[in-house]
Amino acid sequence: MDSGRFTIAFLLFLLSLTTPTLSERLIRLPQRPPVYSDILRYRKTDESFCESWKYSIEANDAGVWYVVPEKCVKFVQNYMNGDRYRSDSEVIAEYALEYAKTVNVSGDGKDAWVFDIDETLLSNLPYYVNHGYGSEVFDEKSFDEWVDSAEAPALPASFRLYTELQQLGFKIFLLTGRSEFQRECTDKNLQFAGYTNYEKLFLRGDSDLGKLATLYKSEKRQELKDEGYRVRGSSGDQWSDLFGFATADRSFKLPNPLYYIP
Amino acid sequence: MDSGRFTIAFLLFLLSLTTPTLSERLIRLPQRPPVYSDILRYRKTDESFCESWKYSIEANDAGVWYVVPEKCVKFVQNYMNGDRYRSDSEVIAEYALEYAKTVNVSGDGKDAWVFDIDETLLSNLPYYVNHGYGSEVFDEKSFDEWVDSAEAPALPASFRLYTELQQLGFKIFLLTGRSEFQRECTDKNLQFAGYTNYEKLFLRGDSDLGKLATLYKSEKRQELKDEGYRVRGSSGDQWSDLFGFATADRSFKLPNPLYYIP
């Protein structure tokens, strides 16, 4: 029996049971109240709780979550604007690059690296600064307008990794939860931020709109593998960028305490 | 094609290429010098680097690592002995329990929860206090003696989770990288720490000795599933406790900056 696939399908099924109406087209999530109940109550200090909350969301222990807990908004603000976010991103990029240098890149042009876009190549921090650092219920309209503006800056550590991977001979594929109708502004934003010469930009087409990100992104990586690409590495800020099937040889999880996408 | 299984097998194969002689029987890893090279060099402050290092190992970005970097020993010591380790463990246990309460536990006794032992149910911190907090090359002889002593205390948050899961009706399975020859002292230690009434304790048998933990633990979970158990949850401090195939419906990764097991 194909139990690997079955397990994945079953997990996605279970996830679908716990997931309310998803904002399919976008990188942000549903309109549902937070459910921290017991977890929020028993911690003594906010700082201590928020450090542990962040650990839990980054290690995927918290499962699906919807907004940053109110008592951790300041913590997230400090994390995103202070030294830690930058430092974490840099160390992860450094690990990725160190691994990439060990890959025997073939001359056949089939060694691939897959990047997610939002909070991986591009930073939407300027948007979230004005929208409560992930503490507000996601507003599709204002986020669409932000995406349309094509002004998201590059995440510096990812930009460096992107550039160095190209120099090492990797083919770069971009795999985003954004939709086909956002191709033009996305491409414009990537150029604006300095990301050039990628091999292909995958966006959600009509047939992808109802899918969880884990499935959609796994299917696209599978397409790459079916075309003979060796998916050597993958970088993303969500576990749904990295898990599932047709996974990369090595996956690099960037931090993101602003939102969660299943 | 069974691509899910194939992907896992291929990942394990790749991992095996990068993994030197494993200490098969034990929970600690090989005799190899650290290779932090570029990553260790460019960080300005130790605190900042060590926070990012810890993020990277917990998110599995660092891949296989062998010892705690020298500049982070004090950081690990503070983390393990201070409030954060306890707080992180508690919040994770709380998320696990909150999830467990949503499971519709059947009367057929087939709802299972799998626990790892070392740094999950039991804490070997008293050993690591005397052995450089993970900065020393693993010494099998002295660790064996520690395991033989059967004096490892319970991790309080896991003990509470263990107890409450039993009250909810879950069957508890213990799945450890320790070997069959350590069954007696392991069982004695579990009793000493208060862990009673588990359904079964899996240790590595002769046929498991050459396997990576990810494969060994996946096979054992598969056995449970083949026996009709629904593996609702799994708790472990290593990704190799949780990943692979036959994974649990939800997995809970506890922190462990002391050592890494592939």
Annotate A225-241 with three-state secondary structure.
HHCCCEEEEEEECCHHH
Domain spans of chain A, in order of start: 3-253
Mean pLDDT check: name the lowest of A2-11, A208-217, A230-239, B169-178.
A2-11
Residues A182, A110, A161, A213, Cα dihedral to 10°: 40
What is the average pLDDT across A78-100? 97
Place A45 in a pLDDT band, splitting at 50, 70 and 90.
confident
Which stretches of chain B are DSSP H helices? Answer: 3-18, 37-41, 46-58, 73-81, 83-102, 125-129, 140-149, 156-168, 183-193, 213-226
- pLDDT tens across B131-189, in order? 999 999 999 999 999 999 999 999 999 999 999 999 999 999 999 999 999 999 999 99
Cβ–Cβ < 8 Å for A176, A190: no
Size of interface A-B (CB pairs under 8 A): 151
**Is the pLDDT at B117 greater than 60, yes or no?**
yes
Mean pLDDT check: name the lowest of A10-19, A116-125, A204-213, B137-146.
A10-19
pLDDT the model gives residue A35:
44
Yes or no, beta carbons of A55 and B88 under 8 Å apart? yes
Yes or no, beta carbons of A7 and B247 under 8 Å apart? yes
Average pLDDT across chain B, whole number: 88
pLDDT the model gives residue A101:
98
pLDDT the model gives residue A28:
44
pLDDT the model gives residue A80:
98
Q: Does B226 touch chain A (CB under 8 A)?
A: no
Q: How many C-beta neighbours within 10 Å does residue A168 have?
A: 15
Identify which of B14, B52, B249 has the shortest CB distance to residue A14: B249
Place B8 in a pLDDT band, splitting at 50, 70 and 90.
low
Separation in Å, CA of B5 to nearest CA in chain A: 5
Separation in Å, CA of B148 to nearest CA in chain A: 32
- pLDDT tens across B58-116, in order? 999 999 999 999 999 999 999 999 999 999 999 999 999 999 999 999 999 999 999 99
Identify which of B3, B5, B87 has the shortest CB distance to residue A246: B3
- ∠ CA B156-B157-B163, rounded to 5°: 90
Nearest CA in chain B to A236: B61
- Residue A255 with chain B: CB contacts under 8 Å: 55, 59
Separation in Å, CA of B145 to nearest CA in chain A: 32
**Is the pLDDT at B232 greater than 70, yes or no?**
yes
Q: Does A88 touch chain B (CB under 8 A)?
A: yes
Nearest to A260 by CA among A90, A61, A88, A14: A61
- pLDDT tens across A137-163, in order? 999 999 999 999 999 999 999 999 999
pLDDT the model gives residue B5:
52
pLDDT the model gives residue A82:
94
- Residue B241 with chain A: CB contacts under 8 Å: none
Q: What is the ipTM of this complex?
A: 0.86
- pLDDT tens across B11-60, in order? 444 444 443 333 333 444 434 433 445 555 555 678 899 999 999 999 99
Rg for chain A, CA atoms, rounded: 18
Yes or no, beta carbons of A84 and B251 under 8 Å apart? no
pLDDT cut 70: percent of chain A above it: 83
Nearest CA in chain B to A61: B252
CATH topology of domain B3-253: Rossmann fold (3.40.50)
Separation in Å, CA of A233 to nearest CA in chain B: 11
Nearest CA in chain A to B88: A52
Adjacency order of strands within the sheet including A230-236: A200-204, A171-179, A111-115, A230-236, A250-253
- Positive or negative torsion for Cα B79, B82, B88, B89: positive
Q: How far apart are CA A202 and CA A183, in angstroms?
A: 9
- Residue A85 with chain B: CB contacts under 8 Å: none
Cβ–Cβ < 8 Å for A246, A240: no
Adjacency order of strands within the sheet including B250-253: B200-204, B171-179, B111-115, B230-236, B250-253
Separation in Å, CA of A173 to nearest CA in chain B: 20
Q: Does A226 touch chain B (CB under 8 A)?
A: no
- Residue B37 with chain A: CB contacts under 8 Å: 98
pLDDT the model gives residue B167:
98
Separation in Å, CA of B51 to nearest CA in chain A: 8
Q: How far apart are CA B158 and CA A125, in angstroms?
A: 36
Residue B143, amino acid = F
Token digits for A236? Answer: 């993303």
Residue B130: phi, psi to the nearest 5?
-90, 5
Average pLDDT across chain A, whole number: 88
pLDDT the model gives residue A7:
52
Place A31 in a pLDDT band, splitting at 50, 70 and 90.
very low
pLDDT the model gives residue B226:
98
pLDDT the model gives residue B46:
86
**Is the pLDDT at A115 greater than 80, yes or no?**
yes
